[in-house]
Structure formats: C-alpha cells, structure tokens
C-alpha cells in the first residue's frame, strides 16, 4: 500500500470535515426545532418531520459508508449506483418539497437536504471517476 503524504492527509481531513460538518450543523438546527416543539407539548408527525427523518437517514448512511465501506455494494455494480442515485434523488426531493412548504424552520431543512445531496453527488463523482 502506498504511503500518503501530509498534503493528501490534510486534503482528506478537510474533505471529511466539510462533508460531515456542514450537514451536521443544519441537521442540528432542524432537530433542535423539533425537540423544542416536543418539549412544549406540540408533537405533530407532519410532513416536515418525515422529510427531516428521511434526510437524517440518508446522512446516517453516508456516515456508515465512511466508517464501514462494505455497507455499499461492490464497485461498478448496479446495486452501488442504485443506492447512490436513490439517496441523491431522495435528498433532492426533500429539498424541493421543503422549498414549497410554509412555516418556520424550513431554511435549516433545505440547507441540510442540499448539503446531504451535495455529499451524495460527491460520492457519485468519486465512484464514477475511479
């Protein structure tokens, strides 16, 4: 195995920080709103909550891929690209659906969905190029 230089290690750390830091920030803001609402006794299983859960599930899958790469099907397989395309489509759909909804807190959910969609797009580009 080839040894990585300090520049490549720094680039890898920067990419990981951006890939997981930005969506984490927006997801934290979205979940904070849900927790406050539940704390006030106003729990509703509305569409925005389901959209947030879908975005969080997609982000959790990204984390699982980074921690355990075998969670994706084999390279260059239809299954691998199906997982990537499905998650990319789901997060883009969440962003578009949230864009047309009214109410507070939609900005953080749109930000989270867009950030996770960009992460899946990055995964798609890397898997297509390599």
- Does the residue 14 lie in any domain? yes
Does residue 81 sit within a domain? yes
Which has more pLDDT, 76 or 47?
A: 76
Spatial CB neighbours of 62, under 8 Å, sequence gap ≥ 6 = 19, 20, 87, 116, 119, 120, 123
What is the residue whose two structure tokens read 């979940």?
A: 31
Task: Report yes or no: 10 and 71 within 8 Å, Cβ to Cβ.
Answer: no
Query: What tens digit of pLDDT does each residue of 65-110 get?
Result: 989 988 888 888 899 999 999 999 999 999 999 998 877 778 899 9
The answer to the question of residue 40 being in a domain is yes
Chain segment 9-36, per-residue pLDDT in tens: 888 889 888 889 999 999 999 888 888 7
For residue 121, give the nearest of 4, 19, 12, 6 by alpha carbon.
19
| pLDDT over threshold 60, residue 1 | no
Rounded mean pLDDT of 27-55? Answer: 79
Residue 23: inside a domain, yes or no? Answer: yes
Residue 109 domain-assigned (yes or no)? yes
- pTM of the entire structure? 0.85
- Residue 1 falls inside a structural domain: no
The answer to whether residues 120 and 62 touch, using CB atoms and an 8 Å cutoff, is yes
Is residue 41 one of the residues assigned to a domain?
A: yes
Is 73 inside any structural domain?
yes
Give me the number of domains the chain comprises.
1
Give yes or no for a contact between 97 and 82, defined as CB atoms under 8 angstroms apart: no
Residue 22 is part of which domain span? Answer: 6-129
- pLDDT (0 to 100) of residue 2: 63
pLDDT for res 49: 82
CA dihedral 76, 81, 83, 86 (to 10 degrees): 180
């Amino acid at each position: 195995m080839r040894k990585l230089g300090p520049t490549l290690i720094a680039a890898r750390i920067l990419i990981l920080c951006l890939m997981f830091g930005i969506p984490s920030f927006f997801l934290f803001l979205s979940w904070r709103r849900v927790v406050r609402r539940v704390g006030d006794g106003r729990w509703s299983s509305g569409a925005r909550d389901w959209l947030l859960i879908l975005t969080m599930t997609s982000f959790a899958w990204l984390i699982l891929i980074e921690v355990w790469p075998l969670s994706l099907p084999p390279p260059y397989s239809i299954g691998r690209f199906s997982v990537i395309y499905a998650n990319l489509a789901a997060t883009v759909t969440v962003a578009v659906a949230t864009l047309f909804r009214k109410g507070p807190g939609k900005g953080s959910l749109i930000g989270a969905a867009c950030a996770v969609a960009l992460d899946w797009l990055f995964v798609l580009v890397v898997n297509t190029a390599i």
